[in-house]
Chains A and B, each alone.
Chain A
Amino acid sequence: MTSITRRLFLSLAASLAPASAIAHHGWGGYDTSKSFTVTGKILKSAFENPHCEIEMEVEGKHWHFVLAPPSRMLARGATADLIAPGKTCTVFGYPHTSKPDEARIEYIVLDGKRIELR
């Protein structure tokens, strides 16, 4: 790369960097230093694009857990009936940096089986 191209590229990269800090999707918007594991009963679930979601009440707190897209869920064996309301599920994930009731889930444990979602 010529130096002007490199400088352009670097300044563009720098100007876009803050976007990752406020990311909603992807993993940038979630605080990986505050990972947690909880187990609870699924209250609501949506097996939908762009991301599957489940809602759980844990110790009086109502959570929205963002899972993987349906195609990846199916590829890893997490079918819709496994995350249906009423099922017990363990999730390991990271809380959103600005939405206190949302977390992105790295893996779930269903019927003793761990399923990676990342």
Chain B
Amino acid sequence: MEHQAAPSIFLTLQESALGHVMRSSPSLYPAVEILHIIGFVVLVGSILALDLRLLGLGRAIAIPPMAQLLLPLSRAGFLLAISMGFLLFSADASHVVKNPAFQAKLLLIAAALANVVIAHSGPWRHVESWHDKAPGAAKATALISLVLWLCAICAGRLIAYL
């Protein structure tokens, strides 16, 4: 795998005290993996439910109170997933950064976050006037969101296999 030197910042991270303890502690690494999984389960699970509601499923549930419950869950899940992900990354940063599945995952997450900004600076500003049916623009961002986050999970799992 060592055909090309990784940028030194990743090598520095890997050789830091953090990287060292992540590699050497038998129980820390699996514990962080579990928290990473809980983080993205909460993140993608809450996003999936809200996106499906916007796309027309579960019409009996009003959108604003549903969003009031699910969006904070998404944010909390994201913060947990990304912070635990950083810890896992530190254990083997110089190799993982060159992994095509990891690179794809970062791009997918960046695209998904850009989609969040677009959705909430656009159609979501008028959520109170939707009358239980999301407009086309909101549906489009919901569909994009659903696909991007699910693809991010796939790419993440494939890091270990590529």
Interface residues of A (CB under 8 A from B): 16, 19-20, 22-26, 28-29, 47-50, 69-71, 73-74
Contacts and interface: CB of A to CB of B under 8 A. Distances in A.
Interface residues of chain A: helix, strand, loop or mixed (majority): loop
A48 B23 contact: yes
Interface in B101-136: none
A73 B161 CA distance: 22
A47 B91 CA distance: 13
B24 A20 contact: no
Contact of B162 (A24, A50, A71, A73): A24
B22 interface: yes
A28 B26 CA distance: 24
B161 A25 contact: yes
A42 to B, nearest CB: 18
11 contacts: A22-B161, A23-B160, A24-B160, A48-B24, A49-B23, A69-B26, A69-B29, A70-B25, A71-B27, A71-B29, A74-B26
Contact of A50 (B27, B91, B161): B91
A19 B27 CA distance: 28
B56 interface: no
Point out which of B23, B24, B26, B30 has the most chain A C-beta atoms below 10 A from its C-beta: B26
A23 B22 CA distance: 23
Nearest to A72: B26
B161 A24 contact: yes
A28 B161 contact: yes
A19 B162 CA distance: 8
Contact of B161 (A26, A47, A74): A26
Contacts of B27: 71
B24 A19 contact: no
Contacts of B161: 19-20, 22-26, 28-29
Nearest to B23: A48
Contacts of A28: 161
Given A22-B162, A50-B29, 18 more contacts: A19-B158, A19-B161, A20-B161, A22-B161, A24-B162, A25-B160, A25-B161, A26-B160, A26-B161, A49-B24, A49-B25, A49-B26, A50-B92, A70-B26, A70-B29, A71-B27, A73-B26, A74-B26
Nearest to B31: A71
Nearest to A102: B1
